[in-house]
Amino acid sequence: SQQGEEDPQALSIQEGENATMNCSYKTSINNLQWYRQNSGRGLVHLILIRSNEREKHSGRLRVTLDTSKKSSSLLITASRAADTASYFCATDRSGYSTLTFGKGTMLLVSP
48 in Cβ contact with 30 (< 8 Å): no
Q: How far is the CB of 50 from another protein (least distance, A)?
A: 9
Our CB check for another protein shows the closer of 42 and 95 to be 42
Our CB check for another protein shows the closer of 32 and 109 to be 32
Query: Does residue 43 bind another protein (CB under 8 A)?
Result: yes
Residue type, 101: F
Query: Does residue 99 bind another protein (CB under 8 A)?
Result: yes
Query: Does residue 92 bind another protein (CB under 8 A)?
Result: yes
Q: What is d(CA 41, CA 38) in angstroms, rounded to the nearest whole number?
A: 5
Q: Integer distance in angstroms from the first to the last C-alpha of the chain?
A: 37
Query: Does residue 61 bind another protein (CB under 8 A)?
Result: no
DSSP labels for 14-49? Answer: ETTS-EEEEEE-SS-EEEEEEEEE-TTS-EEEEEEE
Residues of this chain that interact with another protein (CB under 8 A) are 1-2, 30-31, 33, 35, 40-45, 48, 88, 90, 92, 97-104
